[in-house]
Amino acid sequence: MDAKEMERNEFEGPPDDGVAISVRNLRVRYGEREVLHGISFDVKTGETMVILGGSGSGKSTLLRALMGLEKPAGGEIWIGGKNMCCVSVRDMAELRKKLGVSFQGGALFGSMTVGENVGLPLREHTPLDDSTIEVMVRLKLEEVGLSGYENFIPAQLSGGMKKRAAVARALAMDPEILFFDEPSAGLDPIIAAGIDDLILKLKKAFKMTIVVVTHELASAFLIADRMILVDKGNIIAIGTVEELRSSQHPRVRQFLDRVPEPEVSEDEGFLDRLTENLHL
């Protein structure tokens, strides 16, 4: 389904049951520059939504807004029955305990061991004692294939292992929604495939809602239930993998078929641009 075929009515109140995330007319600005131009979409409970887009398309900004790290200039983001755009600090904190985030570089705390990183949310937000936390940390590391690495510091881990440790930390509080920011970025194909397998495993075992931002097509097609294609701050396509694959929208085809931007040849202006402000 292309974005033009989606008709969204003006939205008032929380979304229906069965919808984990609901975004309505989301606008985000950096200074004077608007990066997202009134985006609207839903993510159903238990589905894996992949947000695709090229560099500078706004997909990372969209993810940051969903995680509550960017304050929107307009629109609404409903998660857990609360509108994130105007929720109190206390309610935002409670909401964030239900979310898990795996950042692009892992964002593990360098001064802590892997075990301390994974156990941090439990130590800060639960009354569990140290022994129980240690057992839970081992369990989470087991789930991501990092058993025995509790006492390693992040600098001792490879890129793929850091990503796995970051996922383990994101899973610590058994979140309802899991966010991945470029999970395969910077990894070789074999390790990246391992991360895809991990996401599929989490999807199957825990049936949690997963939102993934990536520009890796192979990964996206493998893990997605539905996909969104973001281009220049707008959604140009949303639908299942097959719907996007069969889309005839020119920008969708250009992205999926990996067609580079055409070079615009302007003979007259070209030399002027090259020599602008130069004293020759």
Partner 1 sequence: MPVTETVGQATIDGLAYLGDLTILTGRSLHAIAIAPFQGQRLRVQRAIHQAMAVGVGAVPILSLISFFIGTILALQSAYELRRFGAMGFVASAVALSMTRELGPLMTAIVVIGRSGSAFAAEIGTMKVNEEIDALETMALDPVHFLVAPKFLAMALMLPCLTTWSDFMGVIGGSVFGVGAAGFTFVSYIHATLSSLVIHDIVTGLIKSVMFGMVITAVGCQEGLSTGLGAEQVGRSTTSAVVKSIFLVVAVDLIFTLLFYFTASR
Q: Which residue has the tokens 């240690």?
A: 134
Q: Is 103 in the site for partner 1 (CB under 8 A)?
A: yes
Contact pick of 104, 184, 209, 219 for partner 1 (by CB under 8 A): 104
Contact pick of 8, 81, 94, 135 for partner 1 (by CB under 8 A): 94
Contact pick of 105, 145, 159, 194 for partner 1 (by CB under 8 A): 105
Q: What is the CA radius of gyration of the chain?
A: 21
Strand partners, 227: 50, 239
Of 166 and 229, the one with the shorter C-beta distance to partner 1 is 166
CB of 169 to partner 1, least distance (A): 8
Name the one range near partner 1 by CB under 8 A: 67-75, 242-250, 253-261, 272-280: 67-75
Question: What does the alpha-carbon distance between residue 75 and residue 190 come to, in Å, rounded to a whole number?
Answer: 40
Contact pick of 3, 35, 99, 213 for partner 1 (by CB under 8 A): 99
Q: What region, left, alpha or beta, does residue 147 occupy, with left being phi > 0 and alpha being psi -120 to 50 degrees?
A: beta
Q: Is 82 in the site for partner 1 (CB under 8 A)?
A: no
Name the one range near partner 1 by CB under 8 A: 100-108, 139-147, 203-211, 256-264: 100-108
Q: Is 97 in the site for partner 1 (CB under 8 A)?
A: yes
Q: Which of 72, 83, 88 is nearest to 12 (CA)?
A: 83
Of 5 and 124, the one with the shorter C-beta distance to partner 1 is 124
Q: Is 130 in the site for partner 1 (CB under 8 A)?
A: no
Binding site for partner 1 (CB under 8 A): 64, 67-69, 92-94, 96-97, 99, 101, 103-105, 107-110, 120-121, 124-125
